[in-house]
Amino acid sequence: MKSRNMSKDDDLIDIGKIFKSLWRDKFIILAISAIFSIIGYFYGENLPRYYETKINIRSTPKYLFEAYDGLYNYKQNHVIYGANDYYNEEFMLFLESSETTEKFIKQNNQYNNLLPYIYQGTIIINESKKSKKIKPHTITYKLVLTEKFDNQDFLNDYVMFVKHETKKKFIDQSTILINSKIIEHKKNLEVAREINLENPILKSMVEGNTVVNEPEALFYRGSKVLKKQLDHLESLKSELNEFTLDYNLILDKASPLVLTSTPSKNFIIPSFFIGILFSCFILIIRNSLRNNNKTYNFK
């Protein structure tokens, strides 16, 4: 029992000696910790800073594209997609494209200072997955920069530029599709006239228990129907020249830039405590070696 009590007393004495030796070296510990704090601050200063702004935009209303759905309709996983879906998909691709951002900056001199960051790939525009949608059919996009700048209208102006570019792309693509359909209808109209087929053959004819399906060739619709469809396509093509997207795209304008990366001052306190632990560890080892040397010399 005595030996156990003696070992406990020795442990307490050793711990007491350690604290006394560390207290004697408190100014060294504080100096090392201060140096670590300074190093931590400058480490934070050298890290890239990220600033973020967000904008809420509306999806394009379907009614604006109803006249063009016949050009784009396709079915996938039991869902029918139309012209509106094509436009919205192209809009998002344009919005997140660095080429579009570069084109926008080059056309707007007030944002020329951001051009180097485009080449470095440090300007990022994409959908904010963490943001909750305020209303159905709304999307939150964020712009991430490595430099703070005063002009808060960049993202607002950029979104409107993308709307204009997507509209041009939609008109061009629709014109191509209409021209293709016009050529196809003209060829089939000639065939229908050659075989004197004016009226369409029914989609299906039931004779007893037999169902006869109409062939897919367009000329089976007859010259009357094909002529009307051809006139409609020509009219649709001319209407494209006056196609407008008259709706308010921006739901909430871009928010002020906010620093999203860790500020340099946040590294000071953790670095200070790391400095304390590091200096205490070094001083304990130093004092332990000194005590061992004294014991060895005494022997």
User: How many Å apart are CA 141 and CA 152, to the nearest integer?
Assistant: 15
What integer is the mean pLDDT of 153-180?
A: 91
Residue with tokens 């190093």: 39
The pLDDT of residue 296 is 47
Q: Which of 117-121, 223-227, 259-263 has the highest mean pLDDT?
A: 223-227
**Structure tokens belonging to residue 266:** 């946040």
- What SS3 state is found at 203? coil
Query: What are the pLDDT digits (tens) for 220-231?
Result: 677 788 788 888
pLDDT band of residue 294 (cuts 50, 70, 90) is low
Claim: this prediction has a pTM higher than 0.75: no
Token look-up 């369409």 returns 200
Tens-digit pLDDT profile for residues 265-292: 888 888 888 888 888 888 777 777 766 6
The dihedrals phi and psi of 29, each to the nearest 5 degrees, come to -60, -45
Q: The tokens of 20 are what?
A: 């006394």
Contacts of 149 (CB under 8 A, 6+ apart): 113, 114, 257
Chain segment 48-107, per-residue pLDDT in tens: 777 778 888 888 888 888 888 888 877 666 667 788 889 988 988 898 888 888 899 889
Going along the chain from its start, the domains and CATH numbers come out as 48-181+245-259 (3.30.1890)
Mean pLDDT in residue range 39-45: 82
Tokens of 182: 């016009």
Average per-residue pLDDT in the chain?
76
- 141 pairs with which residues across the strands? 55, 127
Q: Residue 142 — pLDDT band, cuts 50, 70, 90? A: low
Does residue 180 sit in helix, strand or coil?
A: helix
Q: Which of 97, 62, 64 is nearest to 81 (CA)?
A: 62
Burial 227-242 (b: 16+ CB within 10 A, else e): bebbeebeebbeeeee
Residue 280's contacts (CB-CB under 8 Å, 6 or more residues apart) are 22, 29
Paired strand residues for 148: none
DSSP string, 73-97: -EEETTEEE-HHHHHHHHHHHHHT-
Lowest-confidence pick of 27-31, 69-73, 123-127: 123-127
Q: Which residues contact 104 (CB under 8 A, 6 or more apart)?
A: 111, 157, 158, 161, 162
Q: How far apart are CA 193 and CA 56, in angstroms?
A: 54
